[in-house]
Amino acid sequence: MDTAIELAAKLAVWSGPIELQPLTGGITNTNFLAVDAGKKYVVRIGEDIPVHGVMRQHELEASKAAEAAGISPAIVYSEPGALVMDFIEGRTLSAIDIRTPRYRDQIMALIRCIHHDMPRFIQRAHWTFNVFDVLRNYRQTLETGDSRMRTALPRLEKISGVLEEVAGVQEPVFGHNDLLAANFIDDGAKLWVIDWDYAGFGSPLFDLSNLASNNEFDIDLEHSLLENYFGSPAETDLWRSYSAMKCASLLREAMWSMVSEIHSELAFDYASYTTKNLERFELAYGNFEQQA
């Protein structure tokens, strides 16, 4: 933390001495609220994280594209390992908020903007996000890193293969790929989306299932989500593909945490986070098997 504070305080963007206050919630970056000449900014400190596929240049490009699309705060400065953006006065949403009619249409509009409008603002649109490639990479990382979860990996790999086959291939879109409630901010006039660490081209079903699984949608809300996005009721094949992708989303979160247990230096209880997300994955996978 001390190193991150020192780096944030010495960035060339500041007009003079600044006030820095740690922001809670980040488990990939170290984040601060900075006040410079009376104006507020968010500072994100973090290097590339190859084990998670997090490349800061990609994050920067996605953040600038989201700014150009009008859905994310303005980037005011960047350098390797640091990103400074305007601070949005508002409140982050909760999972309960995400499930309410008040926000569902707004969030769907944001997802459509991410999927179909943002690529127009990306100059080097070449990077991808395939959750099943991520899971394969995580298994290798966990095996070579002597993870405490090594004995569970063969079963999880087998399940991932089943899910990949059922999920199938969809026309790729540009995705956010980390639609946690805390990544939405309501400023009272509009809804913003932040944090583009995992953005890239991939299946639209990942963003949809990720939103639903992160925010505990029930089956009716999930059907409504798919119908809203695709413009027609979710028939059997689409529902099955979506359900497989939801399981993959939950498995990815659990294995992300397993990898973070052995690689992250941030002060966070990754072991408990692993347990929580494995339990959620097992429940979803049990429901998926019952559909067969």
Cα–Cα distance list, 171 to 175, 177, 180, 205, 210 (Å): 12, 16, 23, 10, 17
CATH topology identical between 2-86 and 91-291: no
pTM of the model: 0.93
Average pLDDT over residues 34-52: 94
**Nearest by Cα to 14 from 31, 30, 38:** 38
Place of tokens 């920067």: 60
Residue 234, pLDDT > 60, answer yes
Q: What pLDDT is attached to residue 140?
A: 97
**Nearest by Cα to 244 from 209, 212, 279:** 209
Pick the CATH number of 91-291 from 2.30.130.30, 3.90.1200.10, 3.30.450.30, 3.40.50.11440: 3.90.1200.10
The Cα 96–Cα 100 span in angstroms is 7
Question: What CATH number was assigned to the domain covering residues 2-86?
Answer: 3.30.200.20
Residue 15, pLDDT > 70, answer yes
CB 182 within 8 A of CB 253: no
pLDDT tens digits, residue range 112-160?
999 999 999 987 657 899 999 999 999 999 999 999 999 999 999 999 9
pLDDT > 70: what percent of the chain? Answer: 98
Q: What pLDDT is attached to residue 292?
A: 66
The three-state DSSP-derived secondary structure of 93-151 is CCHHHHCCHHHHHHHHHHHHHHHHHHHHHCCCCCCECCHHHHHHHHHHHHHHCCCCCHH
Half-sphere exposure at residue 288, Cβ-oriented, CA atoms within 13 angstroms: 24
For 264, phi and psi rounded to 5 degrees?
A: -80, 145
pLDDT tens digits, residue range 246-288?
999 999 999 999 999 999 988 889 999 999 999 999 999 999 9
Residue spans of the domains in the chain: they are 2-86, 91-291
Residue 192, pLDDT > 70, answer yes
Q: What pLDDT is attached to residue 77?
A: 97
pLDDT > 90: what percent of the chain? Answer: 88
